[in-house]
Structure 1
Amino acid sequence: MHDNQPRTITPNALPEVITRYLTAHRAHDTATAVTAFTDNATVIDDGNTYQGTAAIEKWLDRSATEFTYTIHLTGTQQTDPAHYIATHHLEGNFPGGTIDLRYHFTLRDNLIEHLAIEA
C-alpha cells in the first residue's frame, strides 16, 4: 500500500525543471518559464484552465504584469517521483495584499505536465 502523504523536502531537492520554472516566473522571464512545460501541459490558476504552451505563455505574461508582488518560497514537499508541492507567500497590490499559494506540480519526462495553483 502506498503512502501518498506529501513529505517535506529541501528546496534544493526539487527537480531542476521546477526550480527553472520558479526562478524564471519570479524574474518575469516568460520565455524561460514556458520551456519547463510539456507541449500539452495544463495550468489551473484562479479558477481558469490553460491548456498548451501558447495559453500558458499568455497566462505567464498576464500574471507577470497584472499585479506587483513579492514571492517567497516557504515550503517544499514531494508526494512521489512525479508529484511535488511548492508553497509560496506572496505580498503585493492584489486584492487582499497577502496570500499563501500551493503550487502542485505533476512531472512527465522531466517537464511539467500539470500545475495547479491554489490557496
Structure 2
Amino acid sequence: MNLPPAVSALVAAQNSFDSVTYANCFSETAVVYDEGKTHRGRKAIALWIKASNEKYQSVMKPLEYTGHGNSGVLSAECSGTFPGSPITLKFHFDIIDGQIQHLKVTS
C-alpha cells in the first residue's frame, strides 16, 4: 500500500507510542477531531496522543488508503486496551506541504 509520507510516519509513530514524532507529522495549526473532542495545534495534539497512548496502547494496521489531491482516507485496524478491540477506524486527512493539516477519526 502506497501511503503519503506524513501518513506513513504517523502510523509508525503510533505503533511505537512516540507522541512527539506523531505530533510532528502535523502542522503547527493542525486540527484533530477524535472521540467527540477537537485538538488544535501541534502542542495540543501531542498532549492528546500521549494521553491516548497511555490509556489505550493502540496500534494501527493500515488496510486501505484512498487519496484525492490533498485529502485522503486511511482505513486501519486498531487494537489496544479499549472495549471492542480490535476495530476498524477511518482516518480522514488533509495534507498540505507534507504535513497533516486536518485529521478526523471516524468508525
Question: In structure 2, what is the equivalent of residue 86 of structure 1?
Answer: 74
CA distance in structure 1 between the aligned counterparts of 2:25 and 2:93, rounded to whole angstroms:
11
Q: What amino acid sits opposite 2:60 in the alignment?
A: I
- Structure 2 match to 1:52: 41
Residues 1:98 and 2:86 are matched in the alignment? yes
Q: How does 1:1-119 map to 2 (within 5 A)?
A: 11-12=1-2, 14-78=3-67, 80-119=68-107
- Note the C-alpha offset of 1:102: 0.2
Task: Report the Cα distance in structure 1 between the residues aligned to 2:60 and 2:81, rounded to whole angstroms.
Answer: 12
**Identity percentage of aligned residues:** 27
Report the Cα offset of residue 32 of structure 1: 1.1
Structure 2: 5+ residue stretches without partners: none
Unpaired runs of 5+ in structure 1?
1-10
What are the superposed Cα offsets for residues 9-35 of structure 1, whole Å, 9 maximum, x if unpaired? xx22x2111111111111111111111
Measured against aligned partners, the alpha-carbon deviations of 1:45-89 in whole angstroms (never above 9, x if no partner) come to: 0010000011100111011110234431111111x2201111111
Give 2:83's aligned amino acid: P
C-alpha RMSD over aligned residues: 1.3
TM-score of the superposed pair, with normalisation by structure 1: 0.83
For 1:37, give the aligned amino acid.
F
d(CA) in 2 for partners of 1:92, 1:34:
20
Q: Which has the larger radius of gyration?
A: 1
Q: After the TM superposition, which segments of 4 or more aligned residues of structure 1 sit over 3 Å from their partners?
A: none
The total of aligned residue pairs comes to: 107
